[in-house]
A = this chain, B = another copy of it.
């Protein structure tokens, strides 16, 4: 059983820590997003909500939250920000539920946002092939959504319920 000669990664080699690489890659992607969206002064979370509203016009805040798979409580803040900026509007469905939709201003802005998002994506296309990027996302999915794991994941604990 001749082991490969290269030494296995040890705890002393931070460059092989999964969490560290994930954190830094996340920050790099967020930073790039910020650059591309600087002219619009939009954070990733805000853009996500705009896309959710665009794809679910008339939906309630709770429905949007479910669509994004995000706690309601965090959606509230972003919705108010976007409403204050005149990008979305809420109309009463009944006395407690709101129907949320893009305003005219919001609708007019979306194409430019999608273009910025496309640029943002392209900035990472140069770093890896399309196949590599697909595999990357598939592997990331396995991590945070263990149902996606290829093998039976022993690590699947009782934390699958998010609602």
Question: Which of B22, B30, B128 touches A142 (beta carbons < 8 Å)?
Answer: B128
Cα A141 to Cα B39 with chains together (Å): 28
**Interface majority SS (helix, strand, loop, mixed), chain A:** helix
B152 touches A21 (CB 8 A): no
> How far is B24's CA from A44's CA once the two chains are assembled, in angstroms?
13
CB–CB A14/B127 < 8 A = no
Q: Are A25 and B143 in contact (CB under 8 A)?
A: yes
Which residues of B sit under 8 angstroms from A22, Cβ to Cβ? 22, 25-26, 29, 140
Chain A residue total in the interface (Cβ 8 A):
60
Can you name 10 A-B pairs with beta carbons within 8 Å?
Answer: A12-B51, A18-B29, A19-B29, A19-B30, A21-B140, A25-B144, A124-B155, A126-B152, A127-B142, A135-B139
B123 touches A155 (CB 8 A): yes
Q: Mark A123-154, 1 if CB is under 8 A from B, else 0.
A: 11011110011011101111111100111111
Residues of B within 8 A of A28 (CB): 143-144
> Do B126 and A14 touch across chains, with their CB atoms under 8 A apart?
no
Extra contacts, 12 of them, besides A24-B145, A27-B144 (Cβ < 8 A), are A11-B114, A19-B30, A24-B140, A24-B143, A31-B159, A123-B155, A126-B152, A126-B153, A127-B149, A127-B150, A127-B151, A128-B142
B20 close to A48 (CB less than 8 A): yes
Residue in B14, B55, B136 whose beta carbon sits within 8 Å of that of A136 in the complex: B136
Residues of the B chain whose Cβ atoms lie less than 8 Å from the Cβ of A14: 48, 51, 68-69
